[in-house]
Amino acid sequence: RIVMATVKGDVHDIGKNIVGVVLGCNNYEVIDLGVMVPCEQILDTALEREAHLIGLSGLITPSLDEMVHVAREMKRRGLELPLLIGGATTSRQHTAVKIAPEYEPPTVHVLDASRAVGVVSDLLDAGRRGPFAAQNRADQEQLRETYGGRRERALLPYPVARERRLALDWRAEDLPEPAFLGRRLLAEAPLAEIARYIDWTFFFLAWELKGKFPKILEHPRYGAAARELYENGRALLEEILGTRTIRGAGVYGFWPANRQGDDVVLWADPRRSAEVARFPMLRQQRDPGAGKPTLSLADFVAPVESGLVDHVGAFAVTAGIGADELAARYERDHDDYHAIMVKALADRLAEAFAEWLHERVRREWGYGGDEALGLEDLLRERYRGIRPAYGYPACPDHTEKWRLFELLEAPEAGVTLTEHCAMVPAASVSGLYFAHPQARYFTVGKIDRDQVADYAARKGMSVAEVERWLRPNLGYEPEAPGA
């Protein structure tokens, strides 16, 4: 008997649900508590139902800290159940370095549903549990040693990293002016049109079928399963579009902008009469090598001292309005397959919505009107401009979503945030638009104390709070509370 839950503050559950179905099909009793489940409820349920294991899932990076909290509480309450960790942002390394040291019984990272049955079977077998747990501890100790060695690599002092920013030749002709300023609401998204932008490769990945679409349909090992899944997915999509049981909505806009230090400042008008938002950005501190810049998203916006007025865009879209209700309807009919598929299709529609809107934005911004790109070109991002999302490598701080959603008045489009900055509905995408020809995606990577202190001051937050939200990016071990 296993208690499973997506941890507090997180709303993503496709992977967890698939794991639950696989375990159920192998005669394990799964008690699925759903999403945004507080630690106390998870542990109380495990004790009340006499569970044999606990499984935690999460997608956004703040969930990693919540999993550490659950492990500590399991130790405090004297539990001895194996703890399984899974989800897109989790990893063997994070489990070994951050979670396992907080809880002595086996704490195991489970990569995907195909491994779950074997792991659970080993942990529950009296003869295999000991050797499995010993090997797991040894592997995790090795990962901790490797991680410690990596942390010893020196980072550039933050002032030096700022000096090595990307140097661009700022010209007025590289700064197109959008067709309008401010925000616009898309109260009813044309999902039938947006569906043509779906990247089906990631639909199959949700079901742990790895391969590029459409080649995956002819895969010698699981092509038949992929074809059946694709056929069922297309049929359900057509039904959803025809009955409008799932809706989409969004909001986006453009604002005059400039860089000030490592902040991106949005102005009320081209005269820069008032500041409407300020987005602090992080900068790479790992030395990229001679002649290479240490990047920040702020580098792609004209500095205020240039005398030029640049522009930055922002967006929040969802294709998940009604998705949870439709999935629940299937669950009531004990149809887990279609319940999971609804959420997988909603995720794909949300990403397609973001791609469709970005194409529209490039035209309205005045630099994408002559594009002649097919779907493959769009999916490979063979266009000018980027749309980085908070929580991803170039801007890993989820808390900036609060500022973004306030700017966009995103709740009017039906998109809100949990306390851990997960978007609701789960099938939602948000971020910023940068239009400079040299704008590109990158990874901030590890950052040091000096940048964290500067960033915290710019955000008006304490260093400890910033460290909590950016823990996966810290190139040092923060002081314990009260130290």
What is the number of other CB atoms lying within 10 angstroms of the CB of residue 27? 7
Query: Alpha-carbon distance 185 to 252, whole Å?
Result: 7
Task: Return the SS3 of 396.
Answer: coil
Q: Active-site residue 63, yes or no? A: yes
CB-CB contact of 362 with 368 (8 Å): yes
Catalytic option among 12, 109, 311, 358: 12
Name the token pair of 35.
């999403």
Distances (CA, A) of 49 to 41, 45, 139, 282: 12, 6, 31, 45
In a structure prediction context, what are the per-residue pLDDT tens digits for the chain, which is 483 residues long? 999 999 999 999 999 999 999 999 999 999 999 999 999 999 999 999 999 999 999 999 889 999 999 999 999 999 999 999 999 889 999 999 999 999 999 999 998 888 899 999 999 999 999 999 999 999 999 999 988 766 556 899 999 999 999 999 999 988 999 999 999 999 999 999 999 999 999 999 999 899 999 999 999 999 999 999 999 999 999 999 999 999 999 999 999 999 999 999 999 999 999 999 999 999 999 999 888 999 999 999 999 999 999 999 999 999 999 999 999 999 999 999 999 999 999 999 999 999 999 999 999 999 988 888 998 999 889 999 999 999 999 999 999 999 999 999 999 999 999 999 999 999 999 999 999 999 999 999 999 999 999 999 999 999 999 999 999 999 998 886 554
Catalytic option among 63, 296, 428, 430: 63
CB-CB contact of 418 with 11 (8 Å): yes
What is the number of other CB atoms lying within 10 angstroms of the CB of residue 77? 12
List, in order, residues 6 or more apart from 19 with CB less than 8 Å away.
4, 55, 57, 86, 110, 112, 113, 116
| DSSP track, 164-175 | TS------GGGS
Query: Alpha-carbon distance 258 to 434, whole Å?
Result: 12
The residue written with tokens 């994070």 in the block is 94
Q: Active-site residue 12, yes or no? A: yes
Query: Alpha-carbon distance 284 to 265, whole Å?
Result: 20
DSSP structure class, residue 432: E
Q: Active-site residue 57, yes or no? A: no
Catalytic option among 10, 32, 310, 454: 10
CB-CB contact of 433 with 313 (8 Å): yes
Q: Which helix (H) or strand (E) holds 466?
A: helix 463-469
CB-CB contact of 324 with 191 (8 Å): no
Please give the radius of gyration of the chain, using alpha carbons only, rounded to the nearest integer.
23
Query: Alpha-carbon distance 431 to 446, whole Å?
Result: 22
